[in-house]
Amino acid sequence: MAFGRGKAILLGEHGVVYGHPALAAGLEVGVTAFATDAKEDRLFIDPWDVEVSPADTPELAAAFRAVRGLYPERPVEVRATVALPAGAGLGCSAALGVGVVRALDAWAGETPTDDEVAERALRWERVFHGNPSGIDNTMAARGGLLLFQHGAAPVPVRARNPIHLVIGNSGSSSSTRAMVDDVARQRTRSQKKVDGAFEAIAAMVKNGVAALERGELKNFGQLMDMNHALLASLMLSTNELETMCQEARSAGALGAKLTGAGGGGCMVALAPNAEKAHEIVRSLGHINKEAFVAQAG
Ligand code: MEV
């Protein structure tokens, strides 16, 4: 079964679109997919109950066309099962793209490397996000804990301690394309402010990698909080995300921030240990927010 994994950006979203580095963790959850010969080309997506043919006009059909063209012409049916919330900052569309690409690879008898899979899935991502940095499709194909920078080979980060994360969903979805476009508009109006924020975030990414390598989780948590404040200054946070980050911190998180495009979607918190991570999940449950524990690296 082909698999594309979800991701959580721990530091650096949005700046990464402008060539700055970002640090992300692959998740255990994602999209599984399988391809077989068929009478005509079709993509089925569960549990959304969606059926797409490459001739349809919606974005999903365009994305399917974008990758379908890379493979033999004989008709194929791809069935994908999505176990990630869509529009929640966890890289659902990239995980779907990678799942579909890997299913088509297996069907066509091809064995590309993870980086080649990521490259193919970028065609899919471009349909949805216009100008993606490439972090989501890279994480969906490779997983692990990676330092990503557009145009450079991703660098695996060796954290000294296990990293216990809590991912909490605000329940409101947002469009990555819309949030990236909104930041671009702000940058047109006040380039100095936006570039200044991204430079500060880039320094946090650098310091964050060093903190993880040295096992300084408290410092890493502080960097997450600072990164969140800068993202909020770019109007990427919401009241719900603020409440959730606050709740996670009060429940013992070392740091918490929005993750992904913002404007809704998920937050990620760093717990000092596994037990605390479960406590944080429970406290988010008390404010009616779904959350789960994930381990990075
Ligand atoms: C989306 O997961 C991350 C963004 O930085 C967009 C991108 O990198 O393409 C918001």
Ligand 1 centre and the CA of 293: distance in Å?
A: 22
Ligand 1 centre and the CA of 9: distance in Å?
A: 9
Q: Is the pLDDT of residue 297 over 80?
A: no
Return the axis-axis angle of helices 135-142 and 114-129, rounded to nearest 10°: 140
Q: Which of 139, 174, 176 to mutate to test the pocket of ligand 1 (most atoms within 8 A of CB)?
A: 176
Ligand 1, atom 8, residue with closest C-alpha: 133
Ligand 1, atom 10, residue with closest C-alpha: 261
What integer pLDDT is reported at residue 204 of this predicted model? 98
Two tokens at 177? 């394309």
What integer pLDDT is reported at residue 262 of this predicted model? 98
What radius of gyration do the chain's Cα atoms show?
Answer: 19
The ligand 1 atom at the shortest distance from the C-alpha of residue 12 is 5
Dist. CA 288–CA 297, nearest whole Å = 29
What integer pLDDT is reported at residue 55 of this predicted model? 86
Average pLDDT of the chain is: 97
Two tokens at 14? 């949005």
The percentage of the chain sitting over the pLDDT mark of 70, rounded to a whole number, equals: 100
For the stretch 2-22, pLDDT in tens is 999 999 999 999 999 999 999
The ligand 1 atom at the shortest distance from the C-alpha of residue 129 is 9
3-state SS string for 7-43 = EEEEECCCHHHHCCCEEEEEEEEEEEEEEEECCCCEE
**19 conformational bin, left if phi > 0, alpha if psi -120 to 50, beta if neither:** left
Dist. CA 153–CA 267, nearest whole Å = 27
Pairing of strands 42-46, 76-82: parallel
Ligand 1, atom 9, residue with closest C-alpha: 132
The percentage of the chain sitting over the pLDDT mark of 90, rounded to a whole number, equals: 96
Average pLDDT for 119-133? 93
Classify the C-alpha dihedral 98-99-103-106 as positive or negative. positive
Ligand 1 centre and the CA of 41: distance in Å?
A: 30
The ligand 1 atom at the shortest distance from the C-alpha of residue 17 is 8
What integer pLDDT is reported at residue 150 of this predicted model? 96
Whole-model pTM: value is 0.97
Q: Is the pLDDT of residue 95 over 80?
A: yes
Ligand 1 centre and the CA of 80: distance in Å?
A: 23
The ligand 1 atom at the shortest distance from the C-alpha of residue 7 is 2
Provide residues with CB under 6 Å of ligand 1.
9, 13-14, 16-17, 89, 91, 129, 132-133, 135-136, 176, 180, 260-261
Q: Which of 11, 17, 84 to mutate to test the pocket of ligand 1 (most atoms within 8 A of CB)?
A: 17
